[in-house]
Amino acid sequence: MEFNFSSKPNRRFLIRMISSTVVFGLAMAVARYLTTNGLDDGPLVWVVALTPGLAMVGFFYAIVMLIIEQKDEFIRMLILRQLIIGTGIALSFAAIWGSLEYFEVVDHIYPFYFVVAFLVGFGFGGLVNRLTHGAWGEMS
Amino acid sequence: MKNRLKDLRAERDWSQKDLAHQLDVSRQSVNALETGKYDPSLPLAFRIADVFAMPIEEIFLRD
């Protein structure tokens, strides 16, 4: 696997993904600390609880901007394939887990785990690209 | 769609990287075009034709 650092869209994508991950980690840690140490009501709870979610939206922003900024049409097609595969896997996971959870076969999980499923699917899409088209996609 | 990209590139002694640089695309794109894994858009096909100074129909062939 190779990452083309000479590509400006790729560098920006990497910076946006790392930034979102760092903000998510910090926001999650701060939110957990504050909510387990007395903060349980008021508008500040909304702000604290919303920040990790918005950081996760940053992942989607990074992917969308990569598609918009990507000048190489072949690589853009590969990224779109990854996006479709990731979305399909995340929605399939949501459908299956939701059905199992509804009938109380499995425990409840927080919906943001579907974002994790999407990111795993997005990465898997890169592998599919490598096998079918000889290049990873966003890593190319 | 078939194409003669690999032969035309070899005639000019260009590497995939050289051609990619002239077309302003990645080396992976050139490889995908040469191996028939990707058919270019019309604008890219015209850029390829310009680089080789040939008509599109002499580079890209019907199956």
A135 with A94, same domain: the answer is: yes
Closest-CA distance of chain B to residue A115, Å: 29
Please write the tens of the pLDDT for every residue from A40-97. Answer: 788 889 999 999 999 999 999 999 999 999 999 999 999 999 999 999 999 999 999 9
Of the partner residues B26, B35, B41, the one whose CB lies closest to the CB of residue A140 = B26
For residue B59, give Cα distances in angstroms to A71, A132, B36.
23, 24, 13
**Which helix (H) or strand (E) covers residue A25, if one does?**
helix A8-35
| Per-residue model confidence (pLDDT) at position A1 | 53
Which tokens go with A92? 């399939």
Question: In the structure, what pLDDT confidence band is assigned to residue B6 with cuts at 50, 70 and 90?
Answer: very high
Q: Which chain B residues contact residue A131 at CB under 8 A?
A: none
A92 with A133, same domain: the answer is: yes
Q: Facing residues of B2 across strands?
A: B61
For A34, the domain range is 1-70
Please write the tens of the pLDDT for every residue from B9-51. Answer: 999 999 999 999 999 999 999 999 999 999 999 999 999 999 9
Q: Is A33 exposed, middle or buried (0-12, 13-18, 19+ CB in 10 A)?
A: exposed
Q: Which chain A residues contact residue B24 at CB under 8 A?
A: 71
A57 with A106, same domain: the answer is: no
Q: Indicate the pairing of strand B60-61 with strand B2-3.
A: antiparallel
Cβ-based contacts under 8 A for chains A and B: 38
For B52, the domain range is 2-61
Of the partner residues B32, B40, B44, the one whose CB lies closest to the CB of residue A133 = B32
Q: Is A36 exposed, middle or buried (0-12, 13-18, 19+ CB in 10 A)?
A: exposed
